[in-house]
C-alpha cells in the first residue's frame, strides 16, 4: 500500500512539473499618456511637437523577447536589465550633466519635479535606444528628444 501511495504521489508531482516563473514586473501593455518638455531641453528652442502628437495614446508592449510599439520604442531583441539609479543618472545622466553645467541644478529636485521619490529609481535598461524609469509599478517615464513621456500600465 505504501509503495502504491508513494508512486501516486511521485506521479502527480511529475505530471504537474515545476511551477512557472512569474513574468517580470515590467512585462505588459503600457500606454503613452502624457509628455512634458524635459528639464534638459534648451529653453530657447521649442521641441518638435509632431513626434509627441504621433506618440500620444499609443501602446508600447514589453514582451519577454521583444518590444512592440511605435518607432522608436519597438525593438526586436531587447536585452533587459533592471538596475537602480540615483536621480543624477536617469535619462542617460542628463541631470548629472545639468549639474556639471550649473551647480544649482539639483538632480534630486529635478527627478522629484517629474514624480520620482527617493534616492534610488528602478530602471529597465532595454539594450535598445530607450531606458524606462519607474515612478511606481503602474507609471514609468522615458526621455526622448527633449520630452519626458509618461507610460501607464494598462
- Give Cα separations from 137 to 2, 36, 140, 143, 153 (angstroms): 49, 20, 8, 18, 8
Cell numbers for 152, please give them.
Answer: 501607464
pLDDT at 4: 46
Q: Is the pLDDT of residue 10 over 70?
A: no
Q: Is the pLDDT of residue 14 over 50?
A: no
Q: Which residues contact 110 (CB under 8 A, 6 or more apart)?
A: 39, 87, 95, 98
Q: Grade residue 23 by pLDDT with cuts at 50, 70 and 90.
A: confident
Mean pLDDT over the full length of the chain: 89
Q: Is the pLDDT of residue 18 over 90?
A: no
Q: Grade residue 48 by pLDDT with cuts at 50, 70 and 90.
A: confident
pLDDT at 6: 41
- Report the range of poorest mean pLDDT among 3-12, 29-38, 103-112: 3-12
pLDDT at 20: 57
Amino acid at each position: 500500500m505504501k509503495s502504491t501511495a508513494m508512486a501516486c504521489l511521485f506521479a502527480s508531482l511529475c505530471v504537474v512539473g515545476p511551477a512557472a516563473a512569474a513574468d517580470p514586473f515590467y512585462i505588459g501593455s503600457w500606454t503613452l499618456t502624457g509628455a512634458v518638455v524635459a528639464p534638459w531641453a534648451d529653453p530657447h528652442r521649442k521641441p518638435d511637437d509632431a513626434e509627441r502628437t504621433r506618440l500620444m495614446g499609443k501602446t508600447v508592449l514589453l514582451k519577454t523577447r521583444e518590444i512592440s510599439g511605435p518607432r522608436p520604442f519597438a525593438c526586436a531583441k531587447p536585452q533587459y536589465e533592471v538596475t537602480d539609479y540615483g536621480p543624477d543618472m536617469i535619462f542617460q545622466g542628463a541631470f548629472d550633466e545639468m549639474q556639471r553645467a550649473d551647480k544649482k541644478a539639483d538632480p534630486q529636485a529635478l527627478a522629484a519635479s517629474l514624480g520620482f521619490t527617493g534616492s534610488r529609481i528602478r530602471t529597465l535598461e532595454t539594450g535598445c535606444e530607450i531606458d524606462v524609469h519607474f515612478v511606481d509599478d503602474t507609471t514609468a517615464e522615458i526621455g526622448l528628444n527633449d520630452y519626458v513621456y509618461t507610460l501607464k500600465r494598462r
